Structure 1
Amino acid sequence: MTMAWYALYTKSRVEKKVALRLKEQGITCYCPLTKKQKQWSDRKKWVEEPLFKSYIFVDIDLALQSSQVRQVNGVVNFVYWLHKPAVIQDSEIVSIQHFLSEHSEVEALGNLVNIGDFVTLDSGALAGQKAEVVGFKNKHEVRLRIESLGFELVAYINQSQ
């Protein structure tokens, strides 16, 4: 068996249910969760939400289990890269798990710019001009870049941490 991690795209807001259904079928899956404080009119509450909206990860033998995974209610399809289901490295799954074990409030940001990147300005007096990113405002944050997913995980921490 050639087991590998793959990213699945799910219907909106059913990531945890899909993960539960996959586990019930004996399929190893991972739905990274983060804690967020929600405000209602009468109270505040900490809830666990999926870190990657509409995405979960499965550790399967693609040749044997892909059709079984696709038939699970809530699964839209595998995430594809170069016309093949995208393989996620074991080390990246471990990095996400380790990062989430150390930080409780985490958010996933996609398509970020970095120092040294060149961007084209969309609006203002310099619209259409290319510019190099040379710095950011100082924030207290920890970042983990997951290159194959195109995301950065960001945890905001206190100065004492």
Structure 2
Amino acid sequence: MPWYALYTKSRQEKKVADRLLQIGIEAYCPLIIQDRQWSDRKKRVEVPLLPSYVFVNIESQERELVFQVSGVVRFLYWLGQPAIIKDYEIEMIQKRLKDKITSYEIVGIQPGSLYEITSGPFIGQKGIVDKVDKNQITLVLEQLGVKIILHK
């Protein structure tokens, strides 16, 4: 069965993945742990690696079943067809998320240049540098159709 990418309502990724599992659809929402700052405290929270995206492993004729779950907006499309995510790409994300500490070095990178990620869940992926700040870089991963922010 192929994997497909679902676009969800904002901040609904974990709920959508849980509800899909409840109705018997294999779903995967890659999660990472981040430190979040509130006015009175810091806290470690689990957040989606790819905001607003959940992956589902279903047969093409069963695709309509996902719309039974509230929070699902649409499938991600590529060339007029629902985008198929290869098994090895899902496995790569799962494998890389086992790494707890990820660091990136941002040196001499200019917007518009090609950058290859050297560690973490997206290791080996290449993207176009969109923006460079003091401690982070915004990278466009065209294959996945997303922008990611890498922190130093």
Query: When the two structures are superposed, what TM-score results if normalisation uses the length of structure 2?
Result: 0.72
CA distance in structure 1 between the aligned counterparts of 2:45 and 2:102, rounded to whole angstroms = 11
Deviation at 1:71, TM superposition (A): 2.3
Aligned: 1:7 with 2:5: yes
Q: Secondary structure at the match of 1:103?
A: coil
Aligned: 1:95 with 2:116: no
Aligned: 1:85 with 2:82: yes
CA distance in structure 1 between the aligned counterparts of 2:90 and 2:101, rounded to whole angstroms = 17
Deviation at 1:101, TM superposition (A): 0.6
Q: Conserved in 2, the CA contact under 8 Å of 1:7 and 1:78? A: yes
Select which of 8, 13, 31 maps to 2:29.
Answer: 31
For residues 76-102 of structure 1, give each alpha carbon's deviation from its aligned partner in whole angstroms, at most 9, with x where no partner exists.
Answer: 010011111000000000111111111
Aligned: 1:22 with 2:20: yes
Q: Conserved in 2, the CA contact under 8 Å of 1:35 and 1:104? A: no
Question: How many residues align structurally?
Answer: 126
Q: Secondary structure at the match of 1:42?
A: coil
CA distance in structure 2 between the aligned counterparts of 1:97 and 1:155, rounded to whole angstroms = 18
RMSD, matched Cα: 2.7
Structure label with greater radius of gyration? 1
Q: Which amino acid aligns with 2:40?
A: D
Q: How high is the sequence identity, in percent, across the aligned residues? A: 49
What residue in structure 2 maps to residue 40 of structure 1?
Answer: 38
What residue in structure 2 maps to residue 52 of structure 1?
Answer: 50
Residue ranges of structure 1 left out of the alignment (5+ in a row)? 107-111, 116-134, 136-140
Query: When the two structures are superposed, what TM-score results if normalisation uses the length of structure 1?
Result: 0.68
Q: Which amino acid aligns with 1:58?
A: V
CA distance in structure 2 between the aligned counterparts of 1:25 and 1:76, rounded to whole angstroms = 17
Residue ranges of structure 2 left out of the alignment (5+ in a row)? 104-110, 126-140
Q: Which moved more, 1:147-156 or 1:34-43?
A: 147-156
